[in-house]
């Protein structure tokens, strides 16, 4: 029944869902072979990327079955030059698979990219994290699970933080408890996060990574006003950010600041990743792709809103001198298919 309702809604609100996997596969074959007007890369990009994850996955599955391995290899040859983040994503059937693949690549032997690890781990909800872990097990079926691989590549406080996020054991209710927020504040404020985040059970696990987002937002708010509650009044105003930066350094500080920013406003955080990525060379290009590709079908509309609207985002992508032409067209196609209400 739910499935029926979803299909009904999709047909009504997402006209691009109307194409069947069979007709999509036919379009793909024609685009690859330049039927009828000769090969045109823009046409191939539209066929490949102006899709939801599921549509693309089914299209390629049918394409491979119908036209064979040679045609499938031809597809990969045609898209051999854009960044990995765009190419590898075409075979994933959900954003959880995409995230899992990005994590797997980021922790690979050839190419350890801490930023990718942080970026994904600090922003995914517990529900998303559980799906990513399942997908990771399928992708890395002969290896370790996600938490195991994280344990291998990290150490110290950083490892503790990432493993707590990997556990995905956050309260998922909307319940907000002011007394509890005040208590958490008090602990962090008076003893400092190093003490709290140490080996103490009451530490990092039970506060920062287990409370729900609303509860944490309240706690951060109280935190900056806490001076007024404190018996041991200090003169300077401290925020959770200033306390983190005075107690941590290097990667631990980076990841905690990223996490706090994401807890305060996740869509805004992603919009900033895109904004900064658009003028940050090849690394930035990959970050923009990851953000838009992985949030397609999730909170992409909210992110686009935080960015200032779809027109502005499309214009900024078009203007960017750091993105390949292929990337620009692909990102705009993803936006068209996954952000109809933007």
- Binding of residue 180 to ligand NAG (CB under 6 A): no
Q: Which is nearer to ligand NAG, 40 or 242 (CB)?
A: 40
Residues 47, 175: Cα–Cα separation, whole Å:
44
**Nearest CB to ligand NAG, comparing residues 93 and 336:** 93
**# chain residues binding ligand NAG, by CB under 6 A:** 9
- Per CB under 6 A, 93 contacts ligand NAG: yes
Stretch that binds ligand NAG, among 38-46, 75-83, 179-187, 206-214 (CB under 6 A): 38-46
Question: Taking the complex as a whole, how short is the minimal distance between the CB of residue 167 and ligand NAG, in angstroms?
Answer: 24
Show the site string, 293-332: x = touches ligand NAG by CB under 6 A, - = not: -------------------x--xx--x-------------
In DSSP terms, 112 is beta-bridged to: 107
Name residue 202's beta-bridge partners. none
Site for ligand NAG in 258-277 (CB under 6 A): none
Among 20, 23, 33, 40, binds ligand NAG (CB under 6 A): 40
Nearer residue to ligand NAG within complex by CB, 33 or 42 = 42
Widest CA span of the chain, in angstroms?
78
Nearest approach, Cβ of 138 to ligand NAG (angstroms)?
A: 5
Q: Tokens for 200, please give them.
A: 């103490």
Of 337, 294, 268, residue with least CA distance to 124: 294
Based on CB atoms, which residue is closest to ligand NAG, 130 or 238? Answer: 130
65 binding ligand NAG? (CB under 6 A): no
Single residue of 14, 17, 43, 71 touching ligand NAG by CB under 6 A: 43
From CA 161, how far away is CA 276, in angstroms rounded? Answer: 25
Q: Which residue in the set 138, 228, 232, 233 belongs to the binding site for ligand NAG (CB under 6 A)?
A: 138
Using alpha carbons, list the distances in angstroms from residue 163 to 30, 214, 335: 47, 22, 33
The torsion angle over the Cα atoms of residues 136, 139, 144 and 147, rounded to 10 degrees, is -10
Give CA–CA dist 225/219, Å, rounded: 10
Please name the residue ranges forming H helices in the chain: 2-13, 21-33, 41-49, 53-78, 84-87, 95-106, 114-121, 126-139, 146-153, 156-167, 178-191, 193-196, 213-225, 240-247, 250-264, 266-277, 281-295, 300-307, 310-319, 325-338
Shortest Å distance, C-beta 14 to ligand NAG: 18
Phi, psi (5° rounding) for residue 112?
A: -85, 115
CB of 224 closer than 8 Å to CB of 187: no
Please say which residue, 76 or 112, places its beta carbon nearer to ligand NAG.
76
Nearer to ligand NAG, 29 or 93 (CB): 93
Residue number, 65 or 229, with CB nearest to ligand NAG? 65
Nearer to ligand NAG, 45 or 129 (CB): 45
* Least distance to ligand NAG, CB of residue 44, Å: 9
The residues of the shown chain that bind ligand NAG, judged by CB under 6 A, are: 40, 42-43, 93, 138, 312, 315-316, 319
């Amino acid at each position: 029944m739910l499935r029926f309702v979803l299909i009904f809604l999709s047909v009504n609100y997402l006209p691009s869902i109307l194409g069947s996997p069979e007709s999509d596969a036919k379009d793909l074959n024609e685009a690859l072979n330049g039927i009828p007007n000769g090969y045109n890369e823009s046409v191939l990009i539209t066929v490949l990327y102006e899709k939801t994850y599921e549509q693309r996955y089914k299209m390629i599955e049918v394409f491979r079955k119908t036209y064979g391995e040679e045609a499938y290899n031809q597809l990969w040859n045609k898209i051999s030059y854009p960044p990995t983040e765009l190419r590898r994503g075409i075979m994933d059937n959900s954003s959880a698979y995409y995230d899992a693949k990005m994590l797997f690549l980021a922790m690979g032997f050839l190419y350890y990219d801490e930023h990718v690890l942080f970026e994904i781990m600090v922003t995914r909800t517990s529900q998303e994290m559980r799906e990513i872990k399942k997908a990771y097990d399928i992708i890395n079926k002969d290896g370790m699970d996600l938490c195991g691989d994280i344990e291998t590549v990290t150490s110290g406080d950083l490892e503790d933080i990432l493993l707590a996020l990997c556990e995905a054991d956050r309260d998922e209710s909307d319940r907000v408890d002011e007394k509890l927020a005040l208590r958490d504040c008090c602990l962090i404020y008076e003893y400092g996060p190093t003490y709290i985040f140490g080996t103490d059970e009451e530490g990092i696990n039970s506060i920062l990574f287990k409370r729900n987002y609303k509860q944490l937002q309240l706690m951060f708010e109280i935190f900056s006003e806490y001076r007024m509650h404190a018996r041991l009044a200090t003169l300077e105003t401290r925020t959770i950010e200033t306390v983190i930066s005075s107690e941590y350094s290097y990667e631990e500080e980076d990841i905690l600041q990223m996490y706090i920013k994401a807890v305060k406003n996740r869509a805004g955080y992603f919009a900033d990743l895109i904004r900064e990525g658009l003028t940050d060379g090849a690394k930035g290009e990959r970050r923009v792709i990851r953000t838009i590709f992985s949030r397609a079908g999730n909170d992409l509309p909210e992110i686009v809103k935080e960015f200032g609207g779809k027109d502005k985002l499309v214009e900024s992508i078009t203007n960017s001198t750091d993105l390949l032409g292929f990337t620009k067209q692909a990102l705009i196609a993803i936006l068209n298919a996954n952000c109809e209400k933007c």
